[in-house]
Structure 1
Amino acid sequence: MIAGLPDRNFWRGRRVLLTGHTGFKGAWLLFWLEAMGARVTGCSLSPDRPEALFSHLHAAERLASEIVDIRDPKGLAALVARTEPEVVLHLAAQSLVRRGYSEPHATFETNVSGTNNLLRAIAEVKSASALVVTTTDKVYRNCDDGRPFVETDPLGGHDPYSASKAACEMVVDGWRSRLADEGCAVATARAGNVIGGGDWAEDRLIPDAVRAWSSGRVLQVRRPDATRPWQHVLEPLRGYLVLAERLASGQDTAPAFNFGPRSESASVRKVLSLAAEQFGAVRTEFAETSQGPAEAHALALDPSLAETVLAVRGLWDLQQTVTLTAGWYRAFLAGRPARDLCEADLTACLDTVRRASMAGIR
């Protein structure tokens, strides 16, 4: 067993409930769990776009996939009772800041009430020993000074999405003791901004860039100097898996973990500059002033706790992360199967951790 890598022996044959499995991160995580032999039940809405990564990666015969809305307490409770999961990975969410402004009620209902429904069902069924609830780097009360947040910083949220995720953290706190009494350890996972192949969501930087550049259009960028802790999608997913193993083992752990990149936060402008180098002759127009509803200007995470407790340390710097991501999209648009591309990136992730372990670097 290599520190900082999921243990295949732990996951092989284990009953796992993965919510949000049809989303971008969920599809990648399901792909990894399948590769380790886990018995996964996916719980989510149907993919919201025909080109969704889930549709390219996962065949129905390999997966018990349930189309259940986590806002439906009866349907969700019935699913948990029927599947009796040993580990629950909760990724289902309304995860877009701008959609939070346009659909605030649905955002709070999904992220707060939906999480409450799930935790209640888990507490009643009593089969799970580990629960990881994913939130976001945006749960912190942010004064925009760029200081990296640590897990003990105050929570807050100046927009509906961020506030809903901070409230989700409070829901978890409210159930923590009851779940512990039923033998289930729970922790939240706060990840920085993820990029990687296969994300096609609206209002996300790389998908918007790929759509514009691949069709010869000019990419319009509304907040070019906003900074975020960018990381490849496989980075936080590795953290979620290792954290779940730690919780299931009964070892002492923290109630929340940041999962962030090796490098410092970088601007939207910098990320697009690196991506454009991979795509060639593309056109981008940067707004001179911030446009659209209010969003945090500066975000940064301190991932030291995950490095110390879980041995999960960032793999790739920003250049490597953007190169991997852009390479995935270019190859996919040229006709390479998504499954082959995801296998190659996952292999690169595993090999990088193994080499770092052999060199004595966490």
Structure 2
Amino acid sequence: MVSKVVFGNVYSNKKVLVTGDTGFKGSWLCTWLISLGAEVYGISKDIPTNPSMFVELGLAEKMKHFFADVRDLEAIRKLINEIEPDFLFHLAAQPIVSLSYRDPIDTISSNVMGTANVLEVLRSYTKPCTAIIITSDKCYDNVEWIYGYKETDALGGKDIYSGSKGAAELIFKSYYHSFFKKEKGLVQIASARAGNVIGGGDWALDRIIPDCMRSWSEGKVVEIRSPKATRPWQHVLEPLSGYLQLGERLYKDHNLNGDSFNFGPKPEYNHTVQEILEDMSVRWHFKNSKEAFEVTGNIKFYEAGLLKLNCDKALFHFQWKATLDYQTLIEYTSDWYYEFYKNKGDMFEFTKSQIEGYENLAETKNISWII
């Protein structure tokens, strides 16, 4: 049997550095990179949640992790130069909208200066490196229209978190045109934007899926504030496949240097909060939704409404598209938490099995990053 080739095998036996490796997306990315045969390194200032996917998967024993804050320029410079990564994925950030209201300076310094510091180190890096700078779909100036935002649309936002992500993208653009565009060869950079990501292992504050799973694991009814709010939900593996494919293509095609790409689900994946919770509650064996959640209408802070991405650019340049259908998204997310809370399983092996299942589905659908 011929083994499948994933992302052109470019990550096999390569040094890959992930900033923000202890976070939700970072932990999934590190697990996938380990399964791809990469030599994985991580930098993060702390373990951001308890429980923590990074801890539950035992990732500290499966990769090389360092505690450092991306706002500390010299610490980051020292680590990057010592590690000498072939690839770098910058995810380290303050990711919670509600926290940006409580401590705006921390959010701005983490998301803007943290990004600037990584780019500043890469500016003087003397070895070949492919770097993907990850921001968010909230980098766009959300004017509440029904159309998907393109990479050329205006950046910014009405809240601090959105503003910090828009600013990070502007810093990326200015560093590219000031430095990386002029350098022919060594360091290639691109930015990636995605949002409304769900999946097992997320325990972040003020996010609807983690709130539900915490409550349901304790047999409690969860309170929801905006049942009719619509989001283009996607499983965490969807944007990660985009980041990894972008890294592969940038590594091979330097014409993509300085570009930005959106990664989002298909339009038909838009569902209300109430719909997705009803579907997930079935996987947790609730007899009816009243046992699972109740509507409070207590909105604690401003958060933008519908925001979806136009992903035609990624489709055009490297045929990227989402793999999972809505029902599989529900199953993957619900089943991960059920395995953790109810079955007490080996979560590293379970996570790897979901990644393998995702790869197999991508192969059957002839998705471009796997052959």
- Please tell me the TM-score bracket, short chain as reference: over 0.9
Task: State whether structure 2 residue 244 is matched by structure 1 residue 241.
Answer: yes
Q: CA RMSD in A?
A: 2.2
Q: Verify the 8 A CA contact 1:5 1:353 in the aligned structure 2.
A: no
Query: Which whole-Å CA distance do the structure 2 matches of 1:273 and 1:196 have between them?
Result: 16
TM-score, normalised to structure 1's length? 0.94
- Please list every run of 5 or more consecutive structure 1 residues that lacks an aligned counterpart in the other structure: none
* Structure 2 partner of 1:205: 208
SS in 1 for 2:365: helix
* Structure 1 partner of 2:137: 137
Query: Which whole-Å CA distance do the structure 2 matches of 1:60 and 1:336 have between them?
Result: 19
* Structure 2 partner of 1:33: 33
Residue in structure 1 matching 2:271, options 259, 266, 270: 266
Residue in structure 2 matching 1:231, options 224, 231, 234: 234
Flag the 1:130–1:3 CA change in 2: closer, same or farther, 3 A: farther
SS in 1 for 2:308: coil
- Please list every run of 5 or more consecutive structure 2 residues that lacks an aligned counterpart in the other structure: none
Q: Offset at 1:59?
A: 4.4
Q: Does 52-61 or 208-217 show the bigger shift?
A: 52-61
What whole-Å deviation, never above 9, does each CA across 1:251-279 have from its counterpart, x for those lacking one? 42371111111234222122112111211
Q: Verify the 8 A CA contact 2:32 2:352 in the aligned structure 1.
A: no
What whole-Å deviation, never above 9, does each CA across 1:150-171 have from its counterpart, x for those lacking one? 1111111111111000000001
Residue in structure 2 matching 1:279, options 273, 276, 284: 284
* Structure 1 partner of 2:17: 17
Q: What pairs with 1:203-352 in structure 2 (closer than 5 Å)?
A: 203-253=206-256, 255-262=259-266, 263-281=268-286, 282-288=291-297, 291-333=299-341, 334-352=343-361
**Overall identity of the aligned pairs, in %:** 35
Flag the 1:332–1:61 CA change in 2: closer, same or farther, 3 A: closer
Query: Which whole-Å CA distance do the structure 2 matches of 1:319 and 1:135 have between them?
Result: 27
Q: Report the number of matched residues.
A: 359
* Structure 1 partner of 2:94: 94
Query: Which whole-Å CA distance do the structure 2 matches of 1:233 and 1:61 have between them?
Result: 23
Query: Which whole-Å CA distance do the structure 2 matches of 1:79 and 1:358 have between them?
Result: 35
* Structure 2 partner of 1:69: 69
Query: Which whole-Å CA distance do the structure 2 matches of 1:303 and 1:250 have between them?
Result: 19
Q: Which amino acid aligns with 1:246?
A: R
Flag the 1:4–1:99 CA change in 2: closer, same or farther, 3 A: farther
TM-score, normalised to structure 2's length? 0.91
Q: Verify the 8 A CA contact 1:195 1:231 in the aligned structure 2.
A: yes
